Amino acid sequence: MQRHLAERYGRHPAVVGFQVDNEFGCHGTVRCYCPNCREAFRGWLRAKYGTIDALNAAWGTVFWSQTYRDFGEVELPHLTVAEANPSHLLDYYRFASDQVRAYNRFQVDLLRDNAPGRFITHNFMGFFTDLDPFALAEDLDFAAWDSYPLGFTDLMPLPQEEKVQWARTGHPDVAAFHHDLYRGVGRGRFWVMEQQPGPVNWAPHNPSPAPGMVRLWTWEAIAHGAEVVSYFRWRQAPFAQEQMHAGLNRPDFQPDVAFFEVQRVAEELSALPLPPAGCAPVALVYDSEAAWVFEIQPQGAEWNYLTLVFSFYSVLRRLGLDVDILKPGADLGGYGLVVVPSLPIVRKEALEALSQADGLVLVGPRSGSKTENFQIPPELPPGALQALLPLKVVRVESLPPGLLEEAEGPWGRFALGVWREWVETDLPPLLRFTDGGGILFRRGRYLYLAAWPSPELLFALCQSLAEEAGLHPRFLPEGLRLRRRGPLVFAFNYGPEVVEAPAPPGVRFLLGDRRIPPHDLAVWEET
Amino acid sequence: MQRHLAERYGRHPAVVGFQVDNEFGCHGTVRCYCPNCREAFRGWLRAKYGTIDALNAAWGTVFWSQTYRDFGEVELPHLTVAEANPSHLLDYYRFASDQVRAYNRFQVDLLRDNAPGRFITHNFMGFFTDLDPFALAEDLDFAAWDSYPLGFTDLMPLPQEEKVQWARTGHPDVAAFHHDLYRGVGRGRFWVMEQQPGPVNWAPHNPSPAPGMVRLWTWEAIAHGAEVVSYFRWRQAPFAQEQMHAGLNRPDFQPDVAFFEVQRVAEELSALPLPPAGCAPVALVYDSEAAWVFEIQPQGAEWNYLTLVFSFYSVLRRLGLDVDILKPGADLGGYGLVVVPSLPIVRKEALEALSQADGLVLVGPRSGSKTENFQIPPELPPGALQALLPLKVVRVESLPPGLLEEAEGPWGRFALGVWREWVETDLPPLLRFTDGGGILFRRGRYLYLAAWPSPELLFALCQSLAEEAGLHPRFLPEGLRLRRRGPLVFAFNYGPEVVEAPAPPGVRFLLGDRRIPPHDLAVWEET
Amino acid sequence: MQRHLAERYGRHPAVVGFQVDNEFGCHGTVRCYCPNCREAFRGWLRAKYGTIDALNAAWGTVFWSQTYRDFGEVELPHLTVAEANPSHLLDYYRFASDQVRAYNRFQVDLLRDNAPGRFITHNFMGFFTDLDPFALAEDLDFAAWDSYPLGFTDLMPLPQEEKVQWARTGHPDVAAFHHDLYRGVGRGRFWVMEQQPGPVNWAPHNPSPAPGMVRLWTWEAIAHGAEVVSYFRWRQAPFAQEQMHAGLNRPDFQPDVAFFEVQRVAEELSALPLPPAGCAPVALVYDSEAAWVFEIQPQGAEWNYLTLVFSFYSVLRRLGLDVDILKPGADLGGYGLVVVPSLPIVRKEALEALSQADGLVLVGPRSGSKTENFQIPPELPPGALQALLPLKVVRVESLPPGLLEEAEGPWGRFALGVWREWVETDLPPLLRFTDGGGILFRRGRYLYLAAWPSPELLFALCQSLAEEAGLHPRFLPEGLRLRRRGPLVFAFNYGPEVVEAPAPPGVRFLLGDRRIPPHDLAVWEET
């Protein structure tokens, strides 16, 4: 099939490029438990480990008498009576992600052979961790993603009152987070392949975007570096599964609300010269494997990798800072501040990159807590990171909702829950629980956070570090976000009230002005 | 088996009639996914569509490349990776309901051949929509249903404090709603086949009815036109699955509480001449297919057909109005007010009946929003209803819990959630959201409601319309309900306090008097 | 396999005894639905009933036309369209428990043959009712159990604020309850085979025990009669499924916190002469079959056997009383107070034991409500208990959360929910609902409680009965618990505040003193 498509349309003059497949992994399709996948997984293990003894050692199968005699004895890790071996699960999740990458590569190869000069991309999804987009995108020309701010907000683990607050705008960091993530995935280049143009059909609740939001989302994508913003869909189809998914045009062939907002952006865009987007001052290290490790072994029901990452990201953005999202091992040179919300498995290249970072480096809890084989490092967590942070995590605990521990330090008092670590070190803690346990440790430009941070603690900490790094953080109003593209500063007002643009006196506004209405934006030039 | 039963007992002198089967559909037995049903479904589709091209067009299978080449390729709509095609689902739900009807018909035919002169009925269930009772009952002499007010109330989507409030009485509209529904299903004739006589065994909680409630429920059934009220069961069986289900007699052969309440009704009944029940002044249009459409495509997690229907019914009853529940297409002549909570698929006969209605007609949200094939009508919703209501619904949205929009109009201010529509029309709105969007539109005697109504809005609206129709609505105390049978007025007090009967001065009380004790009733004559 | 182990290690000089298998029933392994078990179940039924007619009569299969013609027609009671016959379920649960016992016996027999002079035990679990530990332990030398106070507390049906309150200590009655239960199971002898030594890995939340708790738990086990307290595990394994389960030693071979607490207990223990533990003054009758009956037929969603038993136990312990937990039929001689939270099936030996009890006997709701075949007794509940308590329960009801009925009596006013019974008797009620219904009845030393008791009612009632029995109850501070071993009194402070030991003036403290710090204990001698 793919071959026929590639041969028939690859050189068609009207075709400038290809999106391979659609939203890889949607509807739980990364991890499959069929006999074919079992065979493929056994082959993958054989290639990785060589001998069954090596696998037994790596997985620690001596525990619970699960030693294998042959690769043919290894089953897929599901429908087990007790929980499956975590190393087994992690290898399976790696294998499943690899399989999707291989399937993409198979299609890409067909297109490279038959569609010379055409770009190839794929539309990734939001808040989705079953596959490693950084790896898959190595075979693409650039990344793309599908932006549905309202549905994502309805599905996020937010308190209901926040879901209501952002029901018609989306949470102000949701789209930006993914722009920055997929810009990293696309090695600096990304598209929004599907931008929500109105109410959709698939979330538990599907409100109408507030007037102006389709324009705002479009401009925001551009400010974050999107080369193209495309809308799903052109016209609302009156039949089949997605008939309740709005388009730029209505089912009766009339333009819908978003049509005019997009038209306006097109006009505005033609009048606004766009400088290239440079590097951000802050880097956030994001790791699909971390998501798998914590999915396999949360150890506390509330521990969730995306929640932790998003809280770091959101705090940085609320402080007015631009963020690049990078995979472990990416070059961290030039960043004033690097945050690593959590990196349980620290590979050699990740350690090197962190060692060579120029800026302050804040490392979150459970970093370095596992070897590549999903074992506790012999030197205890944070394992290899002890080269940078000479401390040992000797005990960890997860806390039930409502159990908060008091912390005290130079930035005030905080009540912390979810997760706590006990640390042995000669470093003096910068922040302590009232029972004396250390929470924050620092050596040189490296900091280790030994607890799940509350937003209040994250604000205080990131603000302090950003100031030290000379990044001039400022505490923005709740619904306001900034993004720079060269000398241009974009300000987006997600809130329901007029907000004053935090622009220096006398700057030139290229779009809007100092008084930003609700669900609107302003662009000015700073020198 | 059935044949043997019919042959053996059909002409038995002690047998006056037959109840075919028991509670068709109980325990999820309408929709089956076995290979036999797959074959039968394919045959049903072949008979309906003739050609596979016609099916493809009707279902819009071109979407997601699901075009079929042959009826033998059509699977049952379950265990799909993504959601099934909604037209496919709707046809399957229709087929499944048809199958039950055919199975009933098979048994009815055996009985008609072997049991001359015996009546045939079936005992339908409460709050159950998997099958269309109006269609099935065409093959019966009359309808019957099984009335369990306490269990139904425990399972209704009510706030917990309301469940507690009505735990020993049942919600005051639950039994009445089903009496009126099954009277319609039975073309004016119905029985209560199983009346709860005490605590039962199958609900999450099984309280004892308040003293007097078995008498009240029995009288209420009679007031609504029941020809027989029968109790399940005569004696509580001390063994097997339903051993905790009370009867009129205890397991030790002694009469239980309900025995004496029923005895009292029998005495009272013999002294009270019952005039025939005429038509009610208000008609409510109820559609099983509507329940299926919204089950397939709720579009908002809180949208539920029965909830909407019940809220219309309950408001009308609280206003002291009697209600007939009719299927779409039934003759609406003579009704002062017709309410259509929602009718997504408007067939020709339904449109004709609405066109020929004599009274005011209130049509609720999402009416006319789908074609018979589950597509958006080319002229946009409300589709064929535009002949009566010249307006177009150009956008809809579902809202998360807690997102309420302010509405303002001649009857006050309302906070509306769940569902909102955007309407294009030349009709001036009678009620608006504070952002200007219209909520209620009227042309002549037809009204369209473009939002999910709060109870407050429904009260105001139905009261106003009932007054305009000359139906003299009155706002009854919370636990009081009225029902007329010819000149007789029955008043039922579900509440825990004495209530004064809303009877004109000087009327003659045939049962009780003006001061109605808790869980009791009064009957008087109005001329 | 087992034979090989027994032959190889049975007489090994380093092996002093055997623990058969591990936590029988963990991960839902008691009840199996495979074809082998189906055949075995049919054989079990054949052996029990002899003829299929006897089975049909016992189960009441005439109901719903489920009469069997042959044992080969009996299926396992699962995947049924409607609920399975309760007698069928109960026999299946009995069979499944018997199967585990037989499997244990098979291993025990191998060891008895091959390991002369070695003890044999098994480590039972907490809050687990799928198997009858009293029956299984008849084949063991003594019982053992696995004590995880924190995880059990996280999984108990407690309000969240209580879970938080006890998150680092465990609920103060959880370990003690199981010590007393398994001491009974072990006919006076038990071990703690696995004592939690730190945070574990399997509960939804896994906090670190408060400093001192491992010592406290260890001493508490000893006070309740444990002959050995062993810890799971010696060293935290850095790999596989339980790598996050703390040990006495850390993964890096360093001693963990608990190591030093255990060391301290060992020292303290060597200085403290331990007298044998005698009988407690209070007996609580515990019945696995009761748990099965109510699991099969809760009749109210909140009815739970363990919850009821635990609330009786907890109230008695809060009153400072020691408790023996015994199976139905065990000798009740010498106990000042016997509580039977609920005993639905009263066998001959249980009735005899109750008849011959010396003390006051408090029998809870639904006792005697079923025959051995899971039928309602012909004489109505409490069935055979009517010999001791001349009353009939003629109606029962379960109540939704929030529906509380007012009760009034000599000990004050109470609001009762969950469950209520209607009783016919000549005995005057000692406590009534405000509508007149009786709640508590007494003849001689026997009392019957016809409702689900609130903790407040249980406190008042147990205190009054204990005083009458001369047991000198005292209302202890929330976190304090007492336990006697001969003349020694142990006091355990689970709370966060210093507590004064309720010791007579002038007593000699063997451990600690009158001022008991948080998470600490004191031991004194009373004469």
pLDDT band, residue A1 (cuts 50/70/90) = low
CB spacing of B403 vs A252 below 8 angstroms: no
pLDDT at site A468: 98
Quote the DSSP letter at residue A309.
Answer: H
Smallest Cα–Cα separation from B74: which of B103, B46, B104, B110? B46
Smallest Cα–Cα separation from A295: which of A92, A36, A55, A462? A92
Residue with tokens 């709060």: B454
Query: Active-site residues of B: which are they?
Result: 23, 194
CA distance A40 to C78: 35
Chain A: nearest CA to C208, how far in angstroms?
Answer: 6
CA angle (C289 as vertex; C283, C293 as ends), nearest 5: 120
Chain B: nearest CA to C434, how far in angstroms?
Answer: 14
CA distance C421 to B3: 45
Neighbours of chain B (3+ CB pairs under 8 A): A, C
DSSP count for chain C of H helices, then E strands: 14, 23
Question: In DSSP terms, which residues pair with A395 in a beta bridge?
Answer: A422
pLDDT at site C386: 98
Strands (E), B51-137: 119-121, 123-124
Q: B352: which residues sit within 8 A by CB, 6+ positions away?
A: B329
For residue B1, pLDDT beyond 70: no
User: Regarding beta strands C499-500 and A360-363, do their DSSP bridges make them parallel or antiparallel, or are they unpaired?
Assistant: unpaired
C206 and A CB contact within 8 Å: yes
Q: Read off the amino acid at residue C423.
A: V
Per the CB < 8 A criterion, the answer to whether A469 and A445 are in contact is: no
Average pLDDT over residues A145-165: 97
For A301, phi and psi rounded to 5 degrees?
Answer: -60, -25
Per the CB < 8 A criterion, the answer to whether A424 and C252 are in contact is: no
Nearest residue, CB atoms, C398 vs list B206, B246, B252: B206
CB spacing of A160 vs B402 below 8 angstroms: yes
Per the CB < 8 A criterion, the answer to whether C232 and C197 are in contact is: yes
CB spacing of C238 vs A82 below 8 angstroms: no
Per the CB < 8 A criterion, the answer to whether B491 and B481 are in contact is: yes
User: Regarding beta strands C391-398 and C323-326, do their DSSP bridges make them parallel or antiparallel, or are they unpaired?
Assistant: unpaired
CA distance B323 to B173: 11
CA distance C76 to C453: 36
Average pLDDT over residues B337-358: 98
For residue A527, pLDDT beyond 80: no
Contacts of B205 in chain C (CB under 8 A): 300-302, 398-400
Per the CB < 8 A criterion, the answer to whether B124 and B24 are in contact is: yes
Count CB-CB contacts under 10 A for residue B70.
8
CB spacing of B402 vs A257 below 8 angstroms: no
For every residue of A340-409, DSSP letters joined together read: ES--SB--HHHHHHHHT-SSEEEE-TTTT-B-TTS---TT-TTGGGGGTS-EEEEEEEE--TT--EEEEE
CA distance B6 to C408: 58
Residue with tokens 């938080």: C164
Count CB-CB contacts under 10 A for residue B234.
12
DSSP count for chain A of H helices, then E strands: 14, 23
User: Regarding beta strands C282-285 and C323-326, do their DSSP bridges make them parallel or antiparallel, or are they unpaired?
Assistant: parallel
Query: Active-site residues of A: which are they?
Result: 23, 194
Per the CB < 8 A criterion, the answer to whether C202 and C237 are in contact is: no
Per-residue pLDDT tens for C441-479?
Answer: 999 999 999 999 999 999 999 999 999 999 999 999 999
CA distance A143 to A124: 8
CB spacing of C208 vs A59 below 8 angstroms: no
Chain A: nearest CA to C274, how far in angstroms?
Answer: 35
CB spacing of A204 vs B301 below 8 angstroms: yes
Chain C: nearest CA to B168, how far in angstroms?
Answer: 9
A22 and B CB contact within 8 Å: no
Instruction: Give the ipTM.
Output: 0.95
Residues 373-402 of B with CB under 8 A from A: 373-380, 392, 394-402
pLDDT at site C491: 98
pLDDT at site B173: 98
Contacts of C241 in chain A (CB under 8 A): 63-64, 82-86
C334 and B CB contact within 8 Å: no
C270 and A CB contact within 8 Å: no
CA distance B245 to B196: 9
Three-state DSSP class for residue C441: strand
CB spacing of A205 vs B398 below 8 angstroms: yes
**Interface probe, candidates C201, C241, C242, C260, chain A, greatest A C-beta count within 10 A:** C241
Tokens of C218: 């260890």
Strands (E), B76-235: 119-121, 123-124, 143-147, 190-195, 226-231
Measured between alpha carbons, how far is residue C10 from residues A264, C113, C136 in Å? 86, 9, 21
Average pLDDT over residues A18-36: 97
Q: A87: which residues sit within 8 A by CB, 6+ positions away?
A: A58, A59, A60, A373, A374, A375, C239, C240
C436 and B CB contact within 8 Å: no
Per the CB < 8 A criterion, the answer to whether B376 and B370 are in contact is: yes
Contacts of C302 in chain B (CB under 8 A): 205
pLDDT at site C93: 98
How many residue pairs bridge chain A and chain C with CB atoms within 8 Å of each other?
104
Q: What's the mean pLDDT when you consider all of chain B?
A: 97
pLDDT band, residue A411 (cuts 50/70/90) = confident
Per-residue pLDDT tens for B474-522?
Answer: 999 999 999 999 999 999 999 999 999 999 999 999 999 999 999 999 9
pLDDT at site C1: 61
CB spacing of B400 vs A242 below 8 angstroms: no
Per the CB < 8 A criterion, the answer to whether A391 and C254 are in contact is: no
Three-state DSSP class for residue A212: coil
C83 and B CB contact within 8 Å: yes
pLDDT band, residue A501 (cuts 50/70/90) = very high
Residues of chain C with pLDDT under 70: 1
For A379, the closest chain C residue by CA position comes to C252
CB spacing of C257 vs A400 below 8 angstroms: no
pLDDT at site C69: 98
Per the CB < 8 A criterion, the answer to whether B19 and B122 are in contact is: yes
CB spacing of C237 vs A63 below 8 angstroms: yes
Contacts of A396 in chain C (CB under 8 A): 199, 244
pTM of the model: 0.96
CB spacing of B154 vs C299 below 8 angstroms: no
Count CB-CB contacts under 10 A for residue C467.
12
Contacts of B29 in chain C (CB under 8 A): 81
Within B166-256, where are the H helices?
A: 174-185, 213-223
Contacts of B66 in chain A (CB under 8 A): 240
Nearest residue, CB atoms, A81 vs list C29, C154, C256: C29
CA distance B484 to B322: 7
Neighbours of chain A (3+ CB pairs under 8 A): B, C
CB spacing of B399 vs A207 below 8 angstroms: yes
Q: B454: which residues sit within 8 A by CB, 6+ positions away?
A: B414, B415, B416, B417
CA distance C216 to C166: 14
Average pLDDT over residues B84-113: 97
Query: Active-site residues of C: which are they?
Result: 23, 194
Per-residue pLDDT tens for A300-326?
Answer: 999 999 999 999 999 999 999 999 999
A481 conformational bin, left if phi > 0, alpha if psi -120 to 50, beta if neither: beta
pLDDT at site C478: 95
